[in-house]
Amino acid sequence: AVPSMASCDGGTNISIFGNSFFLSSLIACKFGDVAIVPADFISRNQLSCTSPEVSSEIEDLMEASIQVSMNGVDFAPSSARFHFGPPIKLISIHPDRGHPGTQIAVNGTNFHSTYGTIVCIIGNNTIRAKVLSSTQLSCIAPPQEVE
C-alpha cells in the first residue's frame, strides 16, 4: 500500500498493488478491524481506496492489515500493513512574512517523516518541508509571484 501511513483523520488516497484485479462495483478495502471502505479499480494491478477515520485519541502509531475484496464479502489474506498516526497540529509559524529564500520554522505536533511528503503551501506554491523533528518543520519561502 502506498502510502503505508496516514493521519487518523482519514481521507488519504491509498494505492493497493496486486494481481488479477477486475472491474466491479463491489470492490472494497478492509483496514484491520477498523473499517471496510469502497475501492476503485485502476488497473489489473492497482486499486485505490480512501483511508477511514479512526479515533483521534490515538497518541502513537496504530497498525492495521489491509485486505481487498472483489465481491465485498470475501477478503483475500494479505501481508500489507497500514499505520494510522495521530493528526498533525499546527502551533506556530515564524517568521510570518519575509523575502524569497527566507527559512520558515513551522512548529506543531506529530510531524512524522513516515507520513511521506509533508509540504508547506504558501500562496499558490507547494514547497516540500524538511522534517527536523516530530515538532518542527522547515520550509523555504518561494520566489514572489508576479501578476
Q: pLDDT tens track of the chain, all 147 residues?
A: 888 888 888 999 999 999 999 999 999 999 998 899 999 999 999 999 999 998 766 777 788 999 999 999 999 988 888 888 888 889 999 998 888 999 999 999 988 766 667 889 888 889 999 999 989 999 999 987 555
Q: Write down the number of H helices and E strands in the chain.
A: 0, 13
**pLDDT tens track for 100-138:** 999 999 999 988 766 667 889 888 889 999 999 989 999
pLDDT given at position 146: 52
Query: What's the pLDDT score for residue 1?
Result: 83
Pairing status of strand 46-50 against strand 28-31: unpaired
pLDDT at 88: 84
Whole-prediction pTM = 0.69
The pLDDT assigned to 16 comes to: 93
What confidence score (pLDDT) does residue 116 get?
A: 66
On the CB side of 42, CA atoms within 13 Å amount to 13
Q: How far apart are CA 124 and CA 106, in angstroms?
A: 18
Rounded Cα distance between 23 and 14, Å, is 17
